[in-house]
Structure 1
């Protein structure tokens, strides 16, 4: 089957993904709403640790669906371990989902609260050989999800990424992105929720241990506006703003969300 051009428009958006990617109708799909009353505190969930090599950052790109920073994952340069994970997972890329205005844009929803954006740091388990192999295993991928909340003070953390936006305005544009330590994007608190789910983009493989951080990081409204200047169309096409690249909530179907905190 030819790779269909999925997206977030009415003709190719999340309602249609299952037509080409049947897994999108699976039992362990993401994102979900996290309801505090249903969350189970789990004493056995320890802290997670990330040791990232700033030299592993390679490029930043606009693929027409998100803004992505790509890292060298040929060996264990930048790894995530601990928390709900067994072994070390390698950082491969980070990307964002955001809305057309500041009052929505995150994929996960916490007790009815939507944030302006959600940052995903995608790691894979090298025991499965390569990234493609990891996608086929339930413990193949770990994603740290960080919420972006609009506040008064623009946070310096997002500055590096946003400074590059002008260089990747249109779909297909890529720019060098070197010497970046993504751990600056972590909030102060290490508290998290965790559950087993899927990628929120096709093919929606159900291989992800989610680590969703409780504390959001703050960005300014101007910083969010900058992200919305990206275009989902190519250089010589009419500009269409890249916004609302989030997937709606999926059914929980009996999955338990555990929390590292009370």
Structure 2
């Protein structure tokens, strides 16, 4: 070890390295010892890099709590618009985080996993009671706490999550291969262990949200979505606390195929505590039904159609998006152009 190197290393570290160096160089098997030592050092460095990278792109330890009193908007030029959400309050700092939602889902970059279709436990059966109200930037249907719908079949989780509420965004927040849809429903769940949505927001594994696209067609045959749209229409008549009864299970498209990744809430506080499950198949509804959602009155006597209520896309960064579908595009990439 030379003098310059010696200056840069603390005494304790220097002594430790000197001992190792002497053991290696004094050994009768000097070459083998040097190769072995360098190999150990290389493996250690690679391991540290992998651990550091995983930690830097995974869930943050600083997760923002719920902020029900924060006023925000979607006007891209407004002082409370999406570009300024992270500065609205100390609790909204997560809106500037590195694992935010929504994202553009690129089907050629998916990882195929053997996830099961999303199902709920058998009880309660049938429709659930709920109350729909305006949030100032949309509408939320809060389900009755008396009959909680629970699922334990979610990707990357091993415990029960409780369905808390549902709401919508127009246009859709998530895109697929750069393309948005007419709208997107969000079924919001919290981890049963944490007892409530508010207590789960600031937990790394606290929330799971199922996103369901809305696509315009010639008919609207999903009775659960029609009931939700009718409730939103009643809100347009300046009423609050509209009673709505529907079966959320009917909102899940047939086939059970979905995309999944780890991200955040798409409204302040933007807490990075959400396991996202975005269903591949949309609900088909009519332009008239979508118009009911888009003309909902929001704050300042405006209509949602003025700016929509979809947050701009966020960077995927180093995150991966999984799917429980073996897309032929993925097969083509993985098999050098051979379609399976």
- Structure 1 length normalisation: TM-score? 0.88
More strand by share: 1
Contact 2:263/2:276 (8 A) holds in 1: yes
Aligned to 2:276: 210
Contact 1:191/1:260 (8 A) holds in 2: yes
Aligned to 1:39: 110
User: Is 1:24 the counterpart of 2:95 in the alignment?
Assistant: yes
More helix by share: 2
2:143 to 68, 71, 74: 71
Between the aligned partners of 1:71 and 1:217, the Cα distance in structure 2 is 21
Deviations 1:116-152 (A, max 9, x none): 0000000000212332221111111111100001112
Alignment of 1:165-244 (within 5 A): 165-169=232-236, 173-178=240-245, 180-233=246-299, 239-243=301-305, 244=308
Between the aligned partners of 2:253 and 2:273, the Cα distance in structure 1 is 25
Contact 1:93/1:121 (8 A) holds in 2: yes
Query: Unpaired runs of 5+ in structure 2?
Result: 1-66, 327-340
Query: Unpaired runs of 5+ in structure 1?
Result: 99-104
Alignment of 1:1-262 (within 5 A): 3-9=69-75, 10-11=77-78, 12-20=80-88, 21-43=92-114, 45-51=115-121, 53=124, 54=126, 56-73=128-145, 77-84=148-155, 85-98=157-170, 105-157=171-223, 158-169=225-236, 173-178=240-245, 180-233=246-299, 239-243=301-305, 244-262=308-326
- Structure 2 length normalisation: TM-score? 0.69
Return the structure number with greater relative CO, CA threshold 8 A, min gap 6.
Answer: 1
Equivalences, count: 249
Contact 1:107/1:118 (8 A) holds in 2: yes
Say if 1:122 and 1:242 are closer, same or farther in 2 by CA, change over 3 A.
same
Larger Rg: 2
